[in-house]
Amino acid sequence: MKHLGTKRVETERLILRRFTMDDADAMFRNWANDPEVTKYLTWPAHPSVEVSRMVLESWVFQYDDNAFYQWAIVPRDIGEPVGSIGAVHGRDEIAMVHIGYCIGKKWWKQGITSEALTALIRFFFEEAGMNRVESRHDPHNPNSGRVMKKCGMKYEGTMRQADINNQGICDFSEYGILAEDYFGGKQVEK
C-alpha cells in the first residue's frame, strides 16, 4: 500500500479532482444546502455558502497529506462539481479505505455516483495497492446500497443501532470489496 493523495482520476463522463476554494458556490448550490441530500449523512445541510467555504478550506489545507482523499465529482458536460466522494476513514495496518459520497439530487439515478465509485475502487486497488475498500449506508437509503452493489462490492451485514446520522441513531449496512475480489483471485503485490 502506498498513499498517493487525491490524484486526478478521469472516466468517460467524469473528472474526479481536488476541490479548490472556487468550488464553494457550486458545492453549496448543487448539493450541500439540500436537506434531502444530507438526510442520511452525518453532517447537516449547509445553511450558507460560508459554511461550504469553511469545509473546502479544511479540505484544501489537507491536500498536502498523501493519506487524505477527497474528490470533487465533475461531469464533463457540466464543468463544475455536483457532489463529493472520498475516503472518510482508513486503516493503514490492514490497507483499507472507507469511502463516503454524496451527490446533488438533480444528478441522482444517472449512474454518476456508480461511475465515480468504480473509478476510485480501481484507483485504490491498482494504483494505491489497498487490500480492502468498504462503504456503508443507512438501510432506509437503499439507493446508496444499490450503488455499492453495482460497483462490485459485497453486502457484509447490517449492524443494528450502531451508527448515527441526521435521522438519529440508526442501523448501517456494510459493503466491501477485497483486492482478491477485484483482481479475480490473482496474487496481488502489496
Q: What is the CATH number of the domain that holds 158?
A: 3.40.630.30
* Residue ranges, the chain, pLDDT below 70: 185-190
Does residue 139 fall inside a structural domain? Answer: yes
In a domain, 187, yes or no: no
Beta-bridge partners for 176: 134, 154
The answer to the question of residue 20 being in a domain is yes
Alpha carbon distance 135, 99 (integer Å): 5
Q: Which three cell numbers stand for residue 144?
A: 446508496
Copy the grid coordinates of residue 114.
Answer: 456508480
Predicted local distance difference test score (pLDDT) of residue 188: 46
Please return the burial class of 119, using the count of CB atoms within 10 Å of its CB with bins 0-12, 13-18 and 19+. buried
Q: What is the DSSP letter of 40?
A: T
Using CB atoms within 10 A of its CB, is residue 42 exposed (0-12), middle (13-18) or buried (19+)? exposed
Please answer whether residues 73 and 95 qualify as being in contact, where contact means their C-beta atoms are separated by less than 8 angstroms: no
Count how many domains the chain has.
1
Residue in the structure block whose three cell numbers are 459493503 = 175
Domain presence at residue 129: yes
Q: Domain containing 80: what range?
A: 9-182
Rounded distance between C-alpha atoms, residue 78 and residue 14, angstroms: 10
